[in-house]
Amino acid sequence: MPSRRTFLQSSLLAAGAAALPRALAKTGPSGAKVVSTWDFGVPANQAAWAVLAKGGSAIDAVEAGARWAETGQCNSTVGRCGYPDRDGFVTLDASIMKGDGSCGSVAALEGIDHPITVARRVMEKTPHVMLVGAGAQQFAIEQGFKAQDLRTPEAEKAWKEWLKTSKYAPEINVEQRAMPGNKENHDTIGMLAIDASGQLAGACTTSGMAWKMRGRVGDSPIIGAGLYVDNEVGGATASGVGEEMIRNAASFLVVELMRQGRSPAEACREAIERVVSKRPEASKELQVCFLAMNKHGEVGAFALHQGFSYAVCDAGKQDALLRSQSIYTSQKS
Ligand code: ASP
């Protein structure tokens, strides 16, 4: 099973190249681009690029890319294979946003395997921005989704193992800790796209923190925390311990810093510094990562701790995987 922990040492990788459909290589509109968090961003970007390459919209592209992450892989941190909360329930958070300010999200959604599409339906078919819990599931079923048990046998096994200690301990994804069988206990796919007509969109989807309290909602479905997009400036998305992003309205902060003239990388770095300045001691113990793209297609990222990777895909190259810089560069423990 692919994991971010298989991250290779070079800064620009060909990960996912084997899966790259030949027809997509060096094709598509020159202004279009899609970026996503983590290693699984490479194949997710390719799913999004299949839309952009045909002249499709940024919103369709990010939905397609996020849907791939939700079901096209089996990862312990996103979609149907996500690890459950401490009571054994898989609960999913997702948000989607267009550069014109339209947005929708779902939080603590159970039993529905494409929360990103439910979030888009909230945006397009309701007068609201966010639906949660049982109400979100009811809406999804009304929209034709089937409720199903998303807990995989592997997630169940991991949960039963976790119950032996019941210790809530979000891991910092430092690559030196990579080892066979060491599973992620949190991650998110955050994706930003710009289409041939210059429209921006973003999507963010996750099962949140493994072993979280029942009812816990992270940053991913909170517009401005896990995702923010503005056609006038650019977009930002986040991964890591979501409480920090919510405390700092972090994705909104990154976009506002770009509005003030920072490059995407500078804006992400400054937002990370804000996280550190608010809770210096806590920030040593947890991971926070930002990825941003401005309206010109310039991309930047920054993380608290080393280990954050992000994928970039455009007409020139569909499988670039880059390593983010970070405040802390050595292994914590
Ligand atoms: N941000 C997600 C959450 O807090 C988890 C992650 O991206 O690592 O739910």
Considering only CA atoms, which residue is closest to atom 9 of ligand 1? 208
Ligand 1 pocket, residue 251 CB under 6 Å:
no
Does the structure show a pLDDT above 60 at 311? yes
Mean confidence (pLDDT) of the chain: 88
pTM value is 0.89
Nearest to 202 by CA among 63, 79, 32: 63
Task: Give the lowest-confidence range in 93-97, 127-131, 167-171.
Answer: 167-171
Active site residue 71: no
Ligand 1 pocket, residue 3 CB under 6 Å:
no
- Report the pLDDT value the prediction gives residue 271, as an integer from 0 to 100: 98
Does the structure show a pLDDT above 80 at 182? no
Taking the CA atoms of residue 169, residue 171, residue 177 and residue 180 in that order, the dihedral angle to the nearest 10 degrees is 80
CA distance 317 to 200: 19
Ligand 1 pocket, residue 234 CB under 6 Å:
no
Question: What H or E segment, with its residue span, contains residue 228?
Answer: strand 227-230
Collect all residues with Cβ–Cβ distance below 8 Å to 172 and sequence separation of at least 6: 285, 286, 287, 305, 307, 332, 333
Ligand 1 pocket, residue 202 CB under 6 Å:
no
Collect all residues with Cβ–Cβ distance below 8 Å to 261 and sequence separation of at least 6: none
Of 37, 188, 206, 237, which one is the catalytic site residue? 188
- Report the pLDDT value the prediction gives residue 74, as an integer from 0 to 100: 73
Distance from the alpha carbon of residue 186 to the mean position of ligand 1, in angstroms: 6
Q: Residue 139 phi/psi, 5° resolution?
A: -60, -45
Measuring CA to CA, how many Å separate 78 from each of 128, 239, 298?
A: 24, 12, 27
Probe ligand 1: pick from 38, 91, 239, max atoms within 8 Å of CB? 239
Token pair of 62 as six digits: 């990010």
Model confidence band, residue 18 (pLDDT cutoffs 50, 70, 90): very low
Residue 52 corresponds to which amino acid? L
The CA-based diameter of the chain, rounded to the nearest angstrom, is: 53
CATH number of the structural domain 8-329: 3.60.20.30
Considering only CA atoms, which residue is closest to atom 4 of ligand 1? 242
CA distance 48 to 60: 8
- Report the pLDDT value the prediction gives residue 22, as an integer from 0 to 100: 45
Question: What H or E segment, with its residue span, contains residue 66?
Answer: helix 58-71
Asked if residues 191 and 237 have their Cβ atoms less than 8 Å apart, the reply is yes
* pLDDT 10s digits, 99-139: 999 999 999 999 999 999 999 999 999 999 999 999 999 99
Does the structure show a pLDDT above 70 at 7? no
Q: What is the DSSP-derived secondary structure letter of residue 107?
A: E
Give the start-to-end residue ranges of the domains of the chain.
Answer: 8-329
Asked if residues 190 and 48 have their Cβ atoms less than 8 Å apart, the reply is no
Ligand 1 pocket, residue 240 CB under 6 Å:
yes
Probe ligand 1: pick from 37, 75, 76, 209, max atoms within 8 Å of CB? 209
* pLDDT 10s digits, 20-45: 444 444 567 889 999 999 999 999 99
Model confidence band, residue 169 (pLDDT cutoffs 50, 70, 90): confident
* pLDDT 10s digits, 195-240: 999 999 999 999 999 999 999 999 999 999 999 999 999 999 999 9
Probe ligand 1: pick from 83, 219, 237, 275, max atoms within 8 Å of CB? 219
Asked if residues 204 and 191 have their Cβ atoms less than 8 Å apart, the reply is yes
